[in-house]
Amino acid sequence: MSSTTFDFSRWPPTLTGDQIESLTLHGTTYTLFNGLTYLPPGTTQPSSPSSAIHAPISLLPSPVPRSLFVRAQQLQSVYNILYSHIAMDDDFLDEVMGAVEGIGKVDEFTGRLWRGWKDIRNEGVVQPLHLGLFRSDYLLHTGEEDGKLSIKQVEFNTVSSSFGALSERAAAMHRYLHALTNYYGISSYLKSENFPANDTTKRLAEGLAEAHKAYGVPGAYILFVVQPNERNVFDQRWLEYELLQTHEIRVLRQTFEEITTSATVDPRTRALRISIHPTLSISGSAPDIEISTVYFRAGYIPSDYPTPTHYATRFTIERSRAIKCPTIALQLAGGKKVQEFLSHPGVVEQFVGETDAKELRKTWMRMWSLDDLNPSIPLPKSATSQSANEPRGTTLARELANSLVLKPQREGGGNNVYKHDIPTFLETLPEQERAAWIAMELIVPPRGVASYLVRAQGMTTNNGLESNGDRKGGKTVRAETVSELGIFGWSLFSRETGVHERGDVGWLVRTKGVESNEGGVATGFSVLDSVVLVDG
């Protein structure tokens, strides 16, 4: 927890129209030159890309108190260890996923992954190593009683933790704009020592390279499992280029659809092999390539598995000797239901020491399941609408709706239910599906913070912001915003080897208009941003 003398309501300092135009020109040109880019809307693959647009960006970095930024970095190692231990605790995950009213029985997507993983466990796991490339997401929170700022965790991501490479380039863009223009002297905070370093690409690639090394076959490849028609391809490609240039590790990219026909598992060695066209094989190598590590940038939403064959493909990969990032167990560990279970008294203490557990709990808002209620959270005296057969968790969610968000077991943005939409949603939610949802108290960021947001022409906007009609086509808008800080880390672990992890390996900031509840950059809700450190 921290106090601060910084006045968030006065950020950002005022820019003139000419200054906005100049910064927009220099910023967007920098993004295009340095690969802070997307494929344009409507791009289809596997056709070769012939154009790109800049990623949505902010013109100025967002203020974060230095002490809270450092604290988030320090906590990452504890979170790495926590989720590594959860993924190795079969009994705990079975309890969360398979209780009588457990999530695995009411959420079909999560349930299918869980049941497949149980079958694989019963057969005998071939590869005991797990690799996690993690991201812990936070918002600044204003204390209700004392007004002090703290960091509160939104969620912990264990699968497809994206934007590491692009966030590094967003930070570099802001440093460039400062070096070029000194931001026209509009703020004493905008100086080089307040722009923290960010080398996320290199350090995330180190995690993948460590897994490749542990596999022990130098000529093997790393497989990136990607979504079809992926527009956020450059964020992934930067990792691919770093692996080749620094570690001499080659990467293959395939969709689940392609893997259904290209993948085989050697019945004797359990090696995962991907077949490619003979003319594409490197001189002297076979057209079927052994895979050391499978990095999933797909597979976290139901639409990635349109047929039973796609689930079968995921399970085929899981049964192989390749190291998975993440394993199914680690993907399940990142679910919202696990996050809620950890908040119960004495639970997180099963995985980390009491001192670390106390520090983690400081970053959590209150949360509970709709099908029950954390006994440490009593019903308010005003609760009069609970029916005889309604769980207390549902009643509490209805009574406190305006200060809550409801979360399902989904990743990728656009899935949550907020505030005034909650009572109507609860009326339509089948009783048997309550276990699939958790309620979490909303984080309360500092009020009055604004930013200058820039989107490329043709970029879908889902955050309710309208252009202010600047001279070059209305791409830049000043709006009240909220910013989410993500801290990356990685962990390579097994029961046999223990946990080998790296704490803070980089960070990102995503900024959105206050009207928007969701936070996805690729889905058009947010822009990529960076940090300026301020008092506190």
Residue positions annotated with a catalytic role: 135, 155, 157, 162, 336, 407, 411-412, 510
Instruction: Give phi and psi for 288, each to the nearest 5.
Output: -115, 120
Evaluate whether 125 touches 324 at the Cβ level (below 8 Å). Answer: no
Answer yes or no: is 237 a known binding residue: no
108 annotated ligand binder: no
* 510 annotated among ligand-binding-site residues: yes
Report the alpha-carbon distance of residue 45 to residue 410 in Å, rounded. Answer: 26
- Token digits of residue 49: 């890309």
Q: Is 135 marked as binding a ligand?
A: yes
> Would you say 369 is a known binding-site residue?
no
- Is position 522 annotated in a ligand binding site? yes
Q: Is 378 annotated as a binding residue?
A: no
Q: Is 231 annotated as a binding residue?
A: yes
Strand ranges (E), 401-475: 404-407, 417-418, 438-441, 450-454
340 is in an annotated binding site: no
Contact between 87 and 333 under an 8 Å Cβ cutoff? The reply is yes
CA distance 252 to 289: 9
Q: Please check if 172 is assigned to a binding site.
A: no
Is residue 359 packed enough to be buried (19+ CB in 10 Å), middle (13-18) or exposed (0-12)? Answer: middle
Question: Is residue 232 a known part of a binding site?
Answer: yes
Residue closest to 166 by CA, chosen among 414, 532, 530, 533: 530
444 carries a ligand binding annotation: no
CA atoms in the 13 A half-sphere facing the CB of 509: 29
CA atoms of 72 and 151, how far apart (whole Å): 8
Does 159 count as an annotated binding residue?
yes
Residue found under tokens 């309710």: 464
Please indicate if the annotation marks 486 as binding a ligand: no
C-alpha pair distances (Å), 55 with each of 39, 374, 481, 501, 529: 9, 41, 18, 31, 10
To the question of whether residue 230 is assigned a binding role by annotation, the answer is: yes
Query: What pairing do the DSSP bridges indicate for beta strands 450-454 and 438-441?
Result: unpaired
Residue ranges at the known binding site for substrate: 135, 159-162, 230-232, 236, 297-300, 510, 521-522
Binding residue positions for ATP: 155, 336, 407-416, 418, 440-443, 484, 512, 518
List binding-site positions. 135, 155, 157, 159-162, 230-232, 236, 297-300, 336, 407-416, 418, 440-443, 484, 510, 512, 518, 521-522
Which residue positions form the known binding site for Mg(2+)? 155, 157, 411
